[in-house]
Structure 1
């Protein structure tokens, strides 16, 4: 099939690479200009560079809604558009233009985790599996019929970085498998159960801020979700920013006020957590490794030279 590809960052790069290595003909690539957004500088393999290396015409756009773009799309005469990690709304006159519409490739198990940063949100929320979905685009966000979907399990120590590498390897088989089904003439695919849908916004630095009223289990997953190269989970100690690089749920239960620097437990320093911490029925979060605001990384047992005081969400 003749394919126009919309995509950005490593997700788009992997999609384009799969298409270029297939029997399909990539006739045009549309991608975003480089961005200084903290999350868009991560996994930033260039879709434009890959396309140009293979002689594929490239258009740079923040939004796909101008007349020149529409004209170029019509001239390209695609059988289908394939999109992955396109960051702005694609209007119907674009996604409905090809004969087979637009196949969107999304890194979640739709209908759950539509929108942005699905792997990070899924890990924070304790999901047992994550994956990649190829669905036909319609007027609603990530809501069209599912053509193909594959899942991988989430381990108890997995980070968001681990899940990225595991799911990005699904892009090629999910995309090409979906295209094979469409090219074969199949037109009936799996409707999404909208009662199970959830939608998530883009993450920003604010979303890495630790709220000590969360349960320790949720905070432990937040720390794993904000693994390198993502911005680390952070808090404040004595008015200075402190990043939490590794943590575990405490063995014992600790009571008191959320954020209290309380007790050395094994290789960690336990911080009291949970909105109902006063009851003493909650585990704490044992910090294992931290990074100071001057970039010095060290074990939490070395950083906290004395117990007492509080970690806070703001200086």
Structure 2
């Protein structure tokens, strides 16, 4: 089949490489210009460079709503469009243009976690599995019929970085099998259940800010979800922003006011957490390692020389 590919960052790069390694012909690649957005500078393998290396025509677009792009896609005469991590809406004039439509690769187990940053949100929410879905693009946000899904389990110590590497490795076999089924006429599509759908926005700095009224279990997952190279979960101590590198849930239960720097436990320092922490029924968050704004990493037991005071959302 003749394939036009829309994609960006490492997800798009893996998808394009899978297409280049297949028996199908990649006739055009559309990707975004480089971005300064914090989350778009991570996992930023260049789709444009890979396409150029293989002599595939490339168009750079922030949005796909100009006539030149539509004309180029029409001229390429694709049998199918394959998209992965295209960051804006595609119009039906494009996604419905090829005979086989557009196959979108999304890094969640749809219909849950449609939209942006699904692995991070899924880890924050304590999901037991994460994965990748191949589905037909329609006018909704990741709502089209599903062809294939593959998943991996989430371990108790897994970070978003761990899960990124495991799920991105699913892209190549998923793309290959999906195109085989479509080309052979064996594809069987499954309609998504809208009652099971959830939609998430693009993450920003605000989403890494620690809210000490969250239960410690949720905060511990937030720290793992914001693992390097993602912008770490952060809080403020005596007016200075500190980033939490490593944390765990306390063994004992601690009562008081959320954010209180309370007591040493093991190799870390317990911070009181939870909206109902006053009841004394909640566990705290044990900070083990943190990073100050100058980039220096500290053991929490060294940084917090005395107990008392509060960690706060803002200075």
CA deviations over 1:111-131 (Å, ceiling 9, x no partner):
000000000000000000000
Unpaired stretches in structure 1, ≥5 consecutive residues: none
1:285 corresponds in structure 2 to 285
1:207 and 2:207 equivalent?
Answer: yes
- C-alpha distance in 1 between matches for 2:206 and 2:185: 46
Q: In the alignment, is the contact (CA less than 8 A) between 2:29 and 2:57 conserved in 1?
A: yes
Q: In the alignment, is the contact (CA less than 8 A) between 2:132 and 2:150 conserved in 1?
A: yes
CA deviations over 1:186-208 (Å, ceiling 9, x no partner):
35411111100000000011100
- C-alpha distance in 1 between matches for 2:77 and 2:138: 20
Secondary structure at 1:302 match in 2: helix
1:16 and 2:20 equivalent?
Answer: no
Give the 5 Å matches for 1:56-71: 56-71=56-71
2:267 corresponds in structure 1 to 267
1:223 corresponds in structure 2 to 223
Please identify, of 289-298 and 117-126, the stretch whose mean Cα deviation from structure 2 is larger.
289-298
1:182 corresponds in structure 2 to 182
- C-alpha distance in 1 between matches for 2:309 and 2:187: 62
- C-alpha distance in 1 between matches for 2:9 and 2:243: 26
1:90 corresponds in structure 2 to 90
CA deviations over 1:173-197 (Å, ceiling 9, x no partner):
1111111111111354111111000
1:139 corresponds in structure 2 to 139
- C-alpha distance in 2 between matches for 1:60 and 1:286: 46
1:312 corresponds in structure 2 to 312
Secondary structure at 2:39 match in 1: coil
Q: CA deviation at 1:303?
A: 0.3
Secondary structure at 2:229 match in 1: coil
1:38 corresponds in structure 2 to 38
Unpaired stretches in structure 2, ≥5 consecutive residues: none
- C-alpha distance in 2 between matches for 1:190 and 1:174: 16
Tell me the TM-score normalized by structure 2.
0.99
- C-alpha distance in 2 between matches for 1:242 and 1:141: 35
Secondary structure at 1:158 match in 2: coil
Please identify, of 65-74 and 185-194, the stretch whose mean Cα deviation from structure 2 is larger.
185-194
CA deviations over 1:44-90 (Å, ceiling 9, x no partner):
00000000000000000011111111111111000000000000000
Secondary structure at 1:289 match in 2: strand
- C-alpha distance in 2 between matches for 1:32 and 1:138: 21
2:301 corresponds in structure 1 to 301
Q: In the alignment, is the contact (CA less than 8 A) between 2:147 and 2:187 conserved in 1?
A: no
1:73 corresponds in structure 2 to 73
Q: In the alignment, is the contact (CA less than 8 A) between 2:31 and 2:86 conserved in 1?
A: yes
